[in-house]
A and B are shown apart, each in its own frame.
Chain A
Amino acid sequence: MGLIHAEEMTLNIGPQHPSTHGVLRLKVKTDGEIISEITPVIGYLHRCFEKHCENLSYEQVIPFTDRCDYIAAMNNSFGYVLAVEKLMEIQVPERVEYIRVIMAEYNRIASHLLALGTFGLDVGAYTPFLYMFRDRERILDLFELTCGARLLYNYMWIGGVSHDLPVGFMEASYRFLDEFEKNITEYHNILSYNKIFIERSADVGTMPKEVAIDYGVTGPNLRGSGVKWDLRKDEPYSIYDKFIFNVPVGKGLMGSVGDCWDRYWVRAEEMKESVNIIRQALDKMPRKGDVHEALPKKVRPLKGSIYYRTESPRGDLGYYIISDGSSTPLRVKMRSPAFTALSALSEIATGWMLSDVLVILGSLDIVLGEIDR
């Protein structure tokens, strides 16, 4: 009788799976429960965004940028529009700046609500998901009031925004913000400090600082590992230098610094800071102004290139735009934060169990539309 031969099994998670946040395929080598190697395979949602941009004019690219990261569409087009405006040296009126910041911060809250809700769903908590979606619906109602669309807006235009804030927006905003702050405490009670949730996510998938910086991970994932880096404060763009807000950093409250619970907690705290920013913006905003006054007649930047970064809910979103003087760009490259975050998965997920891999994937908060473009 020979020795029992234990073989490693290659398992396939996805592309159709209830909790891979999109069409992602994970090739997993495991000996039963512990993972020895994990390889993400992407490209199922590739729509050749960058090739399209070379045949479209600069304004026509904006709806395409929305569809890359469809959960935080405002931030995507914000980044693109800022990059083009910098290339063309356009100065937008102050009211437009404030409106853009309000919309971007609302979308940040909506995106974080979805991230936290689906994270809870991966762990098995069905109820917080629905509570968070209830609040997300109210934000989407505000967007619908302004520009008519709930998910993909085409709102930020080069030199301005497409619609001014409608009558009733500010009152609805103030009401929503007051109610939402109470709800954040409710979410903490039901999910964040729940003993079972802490067992599942604390000390799991720890990403040390050096690994995070080496892989180019940014945003809440980097802040969860203890690095205080936020583009809104360190390289301020638009009018973010006028607002007072904190940058939450993971401190390892429930486990080690940089585990899944820290990344979750950083996102929950960031929602509170976004509420702060929106309140300050609504108070300080100039009450009158024409949002269409700086729209250029022809978008024809000078020859040159620019790499511009903004802080999207997933990390720092970079646009590298090369212009050759004509009305269509020569090259638009979108550097998506979820792309680099997913590349770090193979390093931080080896050695954990199969159930943990899904928890780690959920805590990285990826959107396949942004990764595949």
Chain B
Amino acid sequence: MTIDNLIIWFQSWLPFNINIIALFIAAVLITALVIFAIMAVNALVAVYAERKISAFMQDRIGPMGQGPGLHAGKWGLLQTVADTIKLILKEDIIPKAADKKLFIIAPFIIFLGAFIALAAMPFGPYLIASDMNIGIFYILAVSSFGVIGIILAAWSSDNKWSLYGGMRSAAQIISYEIPAALSLIAVLLLTGTLSMQGIIESQAGTVWGFLPNWNIFNNPFSLLAFFIYFVAGVAETNRTPFDIPEAESELVAGFHTEYSGMRWAFFFLSEYGNMLVVSGITVVAFLGGWQSPVQGAMEGAWWGLFWFLTKMTAVIFVMIWFRWTFPRLRVDQLMTVAWKILLPIAFFNLFGVAIWTLIVG
């Protein structure tokens, strides 16, 4: 665990004994800084990637430039940096009738939801902030913290449209937690441990000699669980086809209508952070985490980081692809999908995995 390792490393070279609590706080602060940097860089890269990918899918080019200093860097690479600078310099507008304290707190709460979930994300064999033995349970519990932020943002904006968007979003996130959790339980039946590193290590080895022993190849029920979790995960992050809360053409901008400038940027940081968390869990639980797909080759601490990032990028790419292909579902259809379709399938799936494990494994 990184925090433990950092404390031990501090104690090894500091010439005098400092209180363990101070060392703990120092280690936590450094780790938190690193995770924040990961989230920020992820937002930068993901926004650029989304704009370029959507542009290519729509028969146009997206942000382009001729070189640093000219427009937005070659191929528009500095576009997101330019956007961030613009957002920082914008005027901070708070509506007069808005509830000021709640209005200011709301973006931070949503951000917190994604931020603390990343504390248990294994980026590599030794690169995990805190390897708790209840890793997945912790992430599931903590990532629903964001709903409070959405409701606060919607309510404090004092705008009927924002309220609509916030209520819809809260209902959506709470409903889709259940199929997500149920499909992850199917994975837990196979691995037997809740710890993130434990789940990844149980997917070592190969099945049928050449296929890596990842959970999606393990049995057909876990393949179904993969699809259920992915769909529920996309719904959790409020992306199309489930982006009713921020439906641009209906509610102008949903629950973040009244936010501008850096506060609005925080919402987007959190959305991409949530995408990071959901794709992280998908990769860990179903796609083998930082394991290499080729048995025996390209393994090691830094290779593990590389594989994890590659797989996560692939999952995020599929999420972006979804957004620009599908129309959006209506609110009651969204709820129907969660409660009448995904939930029964998830239950049936759980049953199936249990029977399979009993008979085969």
Q: Check A-B contact in the complex, CB < 8 A.
A: yes
Residues of chain A touching chain B, judged by Cβ–Cβ distance below 8 Å, are 9, 11, 17-19, 33, 120-127, 130-131, 134, 190-191, 194, 196-197, 199-200, 353-356, 358
Q: Inside 8 A of B330's CB, which chain A residues have their CB?
A: 199-200, 353, 355-356
Instruction: With A354-B250, A355-B250 as known contacts, state yes or no: A130 contacts B59, CB within 8 Å.
Output: yes
Q: Which residues of B contact A (CB under 8 A)?
A: 54, 57-60, 160, 164, 240-241, 243-244, 247-250, 252, 324-333
Roughly how many angstroms separate A191 CA and B328 CA in the complex, as a whole number?
A: 12
A99-B29 Cα distance, complex, nearest whole Å: 75
Alpha-carbon distance between A124 and B327 when the two chains are bound, in angstroms: 4
Task: Report the bound CA distance from A354 to B328 in whole Å.
Answer: 14
Q: Are B331 and A194 in contact (CB under 8 A)?
A: no
Q: Which of A130, A134, A358 neighbours the largest number of chain B CB atoms within 10 Å of its CB?
A: A130
Q: A124 and B332 in contact (CB under 8 A), knowing A134-B59, A194-B327, A197-B327? A: no
> Contact between B329 and A131 (Cβ–Cβ < 8 Å)?
no
| Contacts A33-B331, A353-B330 supplied; 7 other A-B pairs, CB < 8 Å | A18-B248, A124-B240, A124-B247, A190-B325, A194-B326, A199-B329, A200-B329
If over half of A's interface residues share one DSSP class (helix, strand or loop), that class is named, otherwise mixed; here it is helix
Q: A196 to B328, Cβ gap below 8 A?
A: yes
Asked if A131 and B58 sit within 8 Å, CB to CB, the answer is yes
- CB pair A127 B249 closer than 8 Å: no
Q: Closest residue to B324 on the A side, CB-wise?
A: A127
18 A–B pairs (Cβ distance < 8 Å), ordered by A: A19-B250, A33-B331, A122-B249, A124-B240, A124-B241, A124-B327, A125-B327, A126-B324, A127-B324, A130-B59, A196-B241, A199-B329, A199-B333, A200-B327, A200-B328, A200-B329, A200-B333, A354-B250
Query: CB within 8 A of B252: which of A17, A121, A134, A354?
Result: A17
The list of the 6 closest CB pairs from A to B, nearest first, reads: A124-B328, A125-B327, A19-B249, A130-B58, A123-B327, A124-B327
Most A-side CB within 10 Å, residue of B240, B243, B330? B330
Are A196 and B59 in touch, CB under 8 angstroms? no
A348 to chain B, nearest CB (A): 17
Within 8 Å CB of A134, what residues of B? 59
Q: How far is the CA of A310 from the CA of B329 in the complex (A)?
A: 38
**Beta-carbon contact of A131 and B59 below 8 Å:** yes
Q: How far is the CB of B154 from chain A (nearest CB, A)?
A: 14
A358 partner residues in chain B, CB cutoff 8 A: 249-250
CB distance from A156 to the nearest CB of B (A): 32
Query: In angstroms, how far is the closest chain B Cβ from the Cβ of A292?
Result: 40
Chain B residues positioned under 8 Å from A121 (CB to CB): 249
Minimum CB–CB distance from A370 to chain B (whole Å) comes to 22
Chain A residue at minimal CB-CB distance from B240: A124
Bound form: Cα–Cα A122–B248 in Å? 9
B283 to chain A minimum Cβ distance, whole angstroms, is: 26
CA distance A197 to B248 in the complex (A): 17
Which chain A residues lie closer than 8 Å to B54 at the CB level? 126
Q: When A and B form their complex, what is the total count of cross-chain residue pairs whose Cβ atoms lie within 8 Å?
A: 71
Question: How far apart are the CA atoms of A194 and B324 in the complex, in Å?
Answer: 13
Q: How far, in Å, is B222 (CB) from chain A's closest CB?
A: 25
- In the assembled complex, which residues on chain A have CB atoms less than 8 Å from the CB atom of B329? 196, 199-200
Alpha-carbon distance A122/B250, docked complex (angstroms): 8
A354 to B164, CA, bound (A): 11
Q: Which of B248, B250, B324, B328 has the most CB of A within 10 A?
A: B250
Contacts of A19 in B (CB 8 A): 249-250
Give the distance in Å from the alpha carbon of A122 to the alpha carbon of B249 in the complex: 6
Given contacts A124-B243, A134-B59, contact A18 B327 (CB under 8 A): no
- B58 and A18 form a contact (CB under 8 A): no
Bound CA–CA A358/B331 (angstroms): 14
Taking CB as reference atom, which chain B residue is nearest A191? B327
Q: Tell me, in angstroms, the Cα distance from A237 to B215 when the chains sit together.
A: 68
User: Residue of B at shortest CB range from A17?
Assistant: B252
Shortest beta-carbon distance, B156 to chain A, in Å?
A: 19
B-chain residues with CB within 8 Å of residue A199 when the two chains form the complex? 329-330, 333
| Complex CA–CA separation, A85 to B118 (angstroms) | 74
Closest to A124 in B: B328
The minimal Cβ–Cβ distance linking A259 to chain B, given in whole angstroms, is 14
Within 8 Å by CB of A18, from B243, B252, B331, B332, lies B252
How far is B326's CA from A358's CA once the two chains are assembled, in angstroms? 18
- Chain A residues contacting B327 (CB-CB under 8 Å) are 120, 123-125, 191, 194, 196-197, 200
CB distance from A172 to the nearest CB of B (A): 20
Cβ of B244: which chain A residues have Cβ within 8 Å of it? 355
CA distance A125 to B323 in the complex (A): 8
Shortest distance in angstroms between B63's beta carbon and chain A's nearest beta carbon? 16
Nearest-CB distance from B59 to chain A (Å)? 6
- Max chain A Cβ within 10 angstroms of own Cβ: one of B160, B164, B324, B326: B326
Write the nearest CB–CB distance from A104 to chain B, whole angstroms.
28
| Bound form: Cα–Cα A196–B333 in Å | 9
Write the nearest CB–CB distance from B61 to chain A, whole angstroms. 12
Q: A199 CA to B331 CA in the complex, in Å?
A: 12
Assess the B160–A355 pair: CB atoms within 8 A: no
Whether the Cβ atoms of A353 and B241 lie closer than 8 Å is no
Q: Would you give the shortest CB distance from B164 to chain A, in whole angstroms? A: 8
Known: A9-B160, A200-B327. A127 touches B333 (CB 8 A): no
Closest-by-CB residue of A relative to B55 is A130
Q: Identify the interface centre among B240, B244, B327: most chain A CB within 10 Å of its CB.
A: B327
Residues of chain B within 8 A of A122, CB atoms compared = 249-250
CA distance A21 to B243 in the complex (A): 22
A-chain residues with CB within 8 Å of residue B57 when the two chains form the complex: 127
Indicate whether A18 sits within 8 Å of B249 (C-beta atoms), given known contacts A124-B243, A134-B59: yes
Q: Is the CB of B331 within 8 A of A125?
A: no
Which residues of the other chain, B, contact A124 by a CB distance below 8 angstroms?
240-241, 243, 247, 249, 326-328
Which residues of chain A come closer than 8 Å to B252, judged between CB atoms? Answer: 17-18
| Cα–Cα, bound, A285→B59 (Å) | 35
The interface residues of chain A lying within 8 Å CB-to-CB of B164 are 354
Complex CA–CA separation, A200 to B250 (angstroms): 14
Q: Smallest distance from the beta carbon of A132 to chain B beta carbons, Å?
A: 11
A355 to B250, CA, bound (A): 7
Q: How far is the CB of B242 from chain A (nearest CB, A)?
A: 10
Contacts of A356 in B (CB 8 A): 330
Within the complex, the shortest CB–CB distance from B323 to chain A, in Å, comes to: 8
Bound CA span A150–B223, Å:
53
